[in-house]
């Protein structure tokens, strides 16, 4: 009750401040004198209404830029241009305002303008092409729209077109093309994946949908694979601690999935078939459509995607001992690539009550069936091994945005939810009692206030403050001969309150903030501070440094809800009764340069990082009194991760670009941790290395459009050697540490465009993934295989082809 009372008091106080504050707002960047070359004319409006209207064009060609955005800096007030580059009058109060114009593929432009009562400014803005997206707009750095160049954190962006050009059907497949990020498969049977950032495991990364941490423990198990590319506008990635804004788990970094917002009337539909081997196919059909009213007051975006993939066995010639006579005489028929059938659909819509009030709605349904093991034509409990999951995820967000009449104060109220219903079978040896059912409801109610102040302490500043109340209720039951047997239930809530201020200094920006979280699983309040400094060394070079703290509460995590079947038995995870929260301290230092050499545009970044973990969570294999193995989670002695990320981009023109990233890192425990220990304690396997983390990995992307008809994309991912556990003896769970082989995953895609008319394209494409077929060649075979002994590329070589219709 105290938490709820405090939450509503916070709402009241912020609304009161909004209504009564008399502070001025911060001005922008470009001098007013620059406005003279854009002004076509000024004339009396006759009704004393101050506004701006005009058009946006390409400065090189003079052609209009359709669907560009004109916004008032430090507010959410804006208007979109139509298909001819013209934008309708944008009403604002008299005074000085910085107007920003931005469009995909162009450098944003800011101009300081003075608006007088009763006058309208009609202007023409000229934008410079941005081939390398150095100045794209991002929101994850501070929960407000800001240019990547102006963000005090390094923000990497994975655009939807890159998901398409790398033939990524979902987010998990596309994130490998980001520096410091790896997505790996952790299970032969069901394809459970983890996103690893800066050398840390998946639970150290906070996954957001449109800025909200509604991706819960349960949905994170297979969640990134379930989010279709057709739903996504872009994915923003911030490496380093972000707990000050996003709470628990934002230690290694934050991945913010931005769903598509309707900006124009459009339609896209595509169909693709991939062929792995004879009779093994991967088929994807997707569509999306966007509808916007002529006055841009209402918009609706719809998406849908269906996928159907066959299972694949990489060991058809391997033999194993099926009858226990000591002779390997039975052929392996277990899958390494799981079967999947998924149907996803959803929408995003908005309604502008007026130019200062907006209501937004996002909804998604993610339905999926996946299964790995053998005997796919029989029910799961007739298989020798089966991991089967049937899940239905329903989630969404409703948001109300309000901008004060003087454009100095923004407030956003939101509620996000996600409900998951999951039916599972994790079993071996034809066990009829290995069925389960898991449900979870997650709900987040929150608000954020943003104020633009002429002076706060020592300089003009942007002040952000907010509160979030998160509730989660997770139930996991076992179905035993028709009876429902409760396994566990985890119900918790978390109240988070944060404030952060960014001061705009001449040639520099300084940001500092702190968040207080009270989690019902903990007896104390957790404070997570963060400080950032951005220095503009010159017009092309910037230096950034960050210090942050974060935490993870001792709750049930995503990997616990994936019951790994290893050695013909299900292995569960159990938390120690004395498990306490895990804390982190992170430091980053980065230097980036954006330059132009003639017509060529270049970008280079070097980013050093260090994270120290205390009381980190570790797991060791133990056995209970009945000899059943389980993973026991306890607090460790600490760990540290450090390294450097390199990123470079070069584009001679808008038709040719090359980008690459590379990471060198070390991930180590401060003291040796136990991986396996014999029941009597006489034998043990220990390690100083955090497992499944290579010391080096990287990617590259090359794209060329020689003309309006052809497009070529080459891409590659490399990962070096890494240590990983390997279960050798199922009887006593004896586990050793193996060294994996390095791998290189190369891909190619070719497109041919046919212009049906000026607005409609028909596209035919083909390509190949894993050209070199660098696929793991030492999988275990048979019912006693270690399903967790898997590494490297997720697919063997696959050829695909498809068609697309878009306007």
Q: Is 500 left (phi over 0), alpha (psi -120 to 50) or beta?
A: beta
pLDDT of 12 above 50: no
Q: Is 409 exposed, middle or buried (0-12, 13-18, 19+ CB in 10 A)?
A: buried
pTM: 0.85
Cα separation, 270 vs 306, whole angstroms: 11
Helix (H, G, I), strand (E, B) or coil at 279: coil
Selected residue with higher pLDDT from 372 and 33: 372
Residue 388 predicted with pLDDT over 80: yes
Please name the residue ranges forming H helices in 585-742.
none
User: Do 662 and 646 contact (CB within 8 A), yes or no?
Assistant: yes
pLDDT band at 542 (very low <50, low <70, confident <90, very high): very high
Euclidean distance between CA atoms 782 and 384, whole angstroms: 9
Candidate from 89-93, 256-260, 759-763 with smallest mean pLDDT: 89-93
Find tokens 């909804």 and name the residue.
363
333-356: average pLDDT = 92
How far from 86 is each of 16, 45, 55, 124, 161, CA to CA, in Å?
38, 19, 4, 9, 25
Q: Are strands 205-209 and 253-259 parallel, antiparallel or unpaired?
A: parallel
Cβ atoms of 771 and 748 closer than 8 Å: yes
Q: Quick one: how far is CA 406 from the chain centroid?
A: 35
In this prediction, residue 22 carries a pLDDT of 37
Residue tagged 């507010």 (tokens): 75
> What whole-number distance in Å separates Cα of residue 102 and Cα of residue 104?
7
Between the ranges 63-67, 383-387, 797-801, where is the mean pLDDT highest? 797-801
Alpha helices in 86-169 (DSSP H): 160-165
pLDDT tens column, 453-490: 888 888 889 999 999 999 999 888 888 777 787 777 88
Report the distance separating Cα 251 and Cα 553, nearest Å. Answer: 12
Decide: helix, strand or coil at residue 354.
strand
pLDDT over threshold 90, residue 35? no
Question: Which of 484, 461, 487 is CA-nearest to residue 475?
Answer: 487
What's the whole-number mean pLDDT along residues 102-112? 83
Residues in the chain: 807
Nearest to residue 391, comparing CAs of 345, 351, 437, 349?
A: 437
Q: Please give the Cα distance from 712 to 17 (Å, whole number).
A: 54
User: What's the Rg (C-alpha) of the chain?
Assistant: 27
Q: Are 258 and 231 in contact (CB under 8 A)?
A: no
Choose the weakest-confidence range: 32-36, 107-111, 400-404.
Answer: 32-36
pLDDT at 534 exceeding the cut of 90? yes
pLDDT tens digits along 237-269: 988 877 677 777 778 888 889 999 888 889 999
Helix (H, G, I), strand (E, B) or coil at 690: coil
Q: How far is CA 348 from the centre of its chain?
A: 18
Stretch 386-395: mean pLDDT: 92
Taking 50 as the threshold, does the pLDDT of residue 152 lie above it?
yes
Beta bridge partners of 342: 307, 368
What's residue 630's pLDDT?
Answer: 67
Residue 142 has pLDDT above 70, yes or no: no
Backbone angles phi, psi at 707, to 5 degrees: -155, -170
Q: Tell me, what's the pLDDT at 570?
A: 54
* Percentage, residues of the chain above pLDDT 90: 40
The answer, yes or no, to whether residue 399 has pLDDT greater than 90, is: yes
Q: Residue ranges of the alpha helices (H) in 82-199?
A: 160-165, 171-174
Task: Check whether 603 has a pLDDT greater than 90.
Answer: yes
The stretch 272-282 carries a mean pLDDT of 89
Q: Which residue has better confidence, 108 or 687?
A: 687
Give mean pLDDT, residues 359-375.
94
Residues sharing a CB contact under 8 Å with residue 693, sequence separation 6 or more, in sequence order: 196, 199, 200, 665, 667, 722
Q: Tell me whether strands 119-127 and 51-58 are parallel, antiparallel or unpaired.
A: parallel
- The DSSP bridge partners found for residue 141 are none
Mean pLDDT calculated for residue range 383-409: 90
Range picked from 26-30, 322-326, 438-442 for highest mean pLDDT:
438-442
Cα 807 from chain centroid?
Answer: 27
Q: Specify the DSSP element, H or E, that contains 399.
A: strand 385-403
Confidence of residue 148 (pLDDT cuts 50, 70, 90): confident
pLDDT at residue 243, as a whole number: 63
Average pLDDT over the chain reads 84
Tens-place pLDDT, residues 286-299: 999 999 988 888 99
Listed residue (319, 1, 368, 465) closest to 169, CA to CA: 368
Cα–Cα dist 607/178, whole Å: 13
DSSP string, 287-306: EEEEEE-TTSSEEEEEEEEE
**652-658 mean pLDDT:** 90
Q: What is the DSSP letter of 786?
A: B
| pLDDT value of position 37 | 41
Decide if 487 contacts 499 (C-beta within 8 A). no
**Which two tokens mark 525?**
């309040």
Position 103 scores a pLDDT of 82
The answer to whether residue 802 scores a pLDDT higher than 80 is: yes
Q: Which residue has the higher pLDDT, 194 or 389?
A: 389
């Amino acid at each position: 009750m105290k938490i709820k009372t405090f939450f509503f008091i916070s709402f009241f106080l912020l609304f009161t401040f909004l209504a009564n504050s008399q502070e001025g707002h911060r001005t922008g960047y470009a001098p007013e004198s620059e406005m003279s070359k854009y002004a076509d004319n000024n004339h009396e409006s006759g009704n004393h209404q101050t506004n701006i209207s005009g058009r946006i064009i390409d400065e090189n060609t003079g052609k209009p830029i359709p669907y560009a955005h004109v916004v008032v800096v430090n507010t959410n007030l804006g208007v979109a241009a139509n298909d001819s580059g013209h934008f309708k009058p944008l009403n604002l109060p008299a005074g000085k305002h910085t107007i920003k114009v931005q469009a995909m593929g162009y450098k944003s432009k800011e101009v300081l303008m003075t608006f007088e009562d009763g006058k309208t400014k009609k202007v023409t803005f000229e934008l410079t092409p941005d081939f390398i997206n150095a100045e794209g707009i991002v929101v994850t750095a501070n929960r407000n729209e800001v240019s990547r160049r102006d963000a005090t954190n390094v923000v990497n962006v994975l655009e939807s077109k890159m998901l398409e050009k790398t033939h990524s059907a979902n987010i998990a497949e596309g994130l490998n093309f980001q520096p410091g990020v790896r997505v790996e498969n952790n299970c032969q049977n069901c394809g459970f994946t983890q996103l690893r950032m800066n050398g840390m495991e998946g639970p150290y990364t906070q996954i957001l949908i449109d800025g909200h941490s509604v991706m819960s423990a349960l949905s994170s198990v297979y969640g990134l694979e379930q989010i279709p590319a057709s739903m996504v506008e872009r994915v923003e990635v911030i490496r380093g601690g972000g707990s000050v804004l996003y709470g628990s788990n934002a230690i290694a970094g934050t991945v913010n999935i931005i769903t598509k917002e309707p900006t124009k009337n459009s339609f896209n539909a595509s169909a693709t078939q991939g062929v792995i081997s004879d009779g093994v196919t991967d088929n994807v059909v997707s569509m999306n459509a966007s509808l916007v009213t002529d006055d841009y007051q209402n918009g609706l975006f719809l998406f849908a995607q269906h996928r159907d993939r066959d299972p694949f066995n990489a060991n058809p010639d391997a033999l194993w001992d099926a009858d226990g006579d000591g002779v390997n005489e039975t052929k392996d028929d277990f899958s390494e690539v799981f079967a999947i059938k998924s149907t996803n659909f959803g929408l995003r819509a908005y309604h502008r009550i007026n130019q200062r009030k907006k209501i937004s709605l996002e909804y998604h349904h993610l339905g999926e069936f996946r299964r790995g093991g053998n005997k796919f034509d029989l029910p799961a409990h007739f298989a020798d091994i089966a991991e089967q999951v049937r899940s239905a995820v329903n989630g969404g967000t409703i948001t109300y945005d309000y901008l004060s009449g003087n454009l100095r104060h923004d407030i956003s109220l939101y509620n996000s939810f996600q409900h998951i219903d999951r039916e599972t079978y994790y079993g071996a040896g034809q066990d009829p009692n290995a069925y389960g059912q898991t449900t979870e409801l997650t709900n987040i109610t929150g608000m954020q206030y943003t104020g633009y102040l002429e002076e706060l302490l020592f300089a003009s500043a942007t002040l952000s403050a907010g509160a979030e109340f998160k509730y989660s209720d997770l139930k996991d039951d076992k179905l035993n001969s028709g009876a429902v047997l409760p396994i566990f239930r985890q119900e918790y809530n978390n109240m988070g309150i944060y404030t952060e201020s960014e001061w705009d200094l001449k040639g520099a920006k300084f940001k500092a903030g702190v968040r207080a979280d009270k989690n019902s699983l903990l007896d104390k309040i957790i404070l997570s501070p963060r400080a950032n400094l951005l220095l503009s060394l010159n017009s092309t070079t910037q230096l950034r440094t960050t210090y942050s703290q974060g935490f993870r509460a001792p709750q049930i995590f995503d990997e616990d809800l994936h019951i790994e079947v290893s050695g013909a038995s299900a292995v569960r995870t159990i938390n120690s009764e004395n498990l306490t929260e895990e804390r982190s301290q992170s430091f980053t230092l980065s230097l980036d340069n954006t330059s132009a050499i003639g017509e060529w545009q270049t970008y280079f970044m070097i980013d050093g990082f260090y994270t120290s973990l205390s009381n980190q969570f570790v797991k060791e294999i133990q056995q209970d009194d009945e000899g059943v193995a389980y993973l026991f989670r306890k607090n460790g002695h600490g760990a540290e991760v450090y390294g450097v990320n390199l990123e470079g981009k070069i584009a001679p023109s808008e038709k040719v670009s090359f980008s690459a990233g590379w990471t060198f890192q070390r991930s180590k425990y401060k003291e040796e941790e136990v991986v396996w220990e014999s029941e009597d304690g006489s034998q043990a396997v220990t390690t100083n290395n955090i497992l499944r983390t290579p010391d080096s990995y990287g990617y590259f992307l090359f794209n060329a459009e020689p003309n309006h008809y052809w497009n070529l994309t080459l891409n590659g991912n490399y990962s070096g050697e890494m240590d990983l556990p390997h279960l050798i003896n199922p009887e006593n769970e004896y586990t050793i540490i193996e060294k994996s082989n390095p791998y290189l995953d190369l891909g190619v895609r070719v497109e041919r465009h046919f212009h049906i008319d000026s607005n409609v394209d028909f596209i035919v494409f083909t390509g190949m993934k894993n050209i070199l077929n660098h696929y793991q060649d030492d999988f275990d075979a048979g019912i006693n295989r270690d399903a967790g002994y898997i590494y490297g590329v997720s697919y063997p070589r696959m050829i695909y082809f498809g068609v697309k219709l878009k306007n």
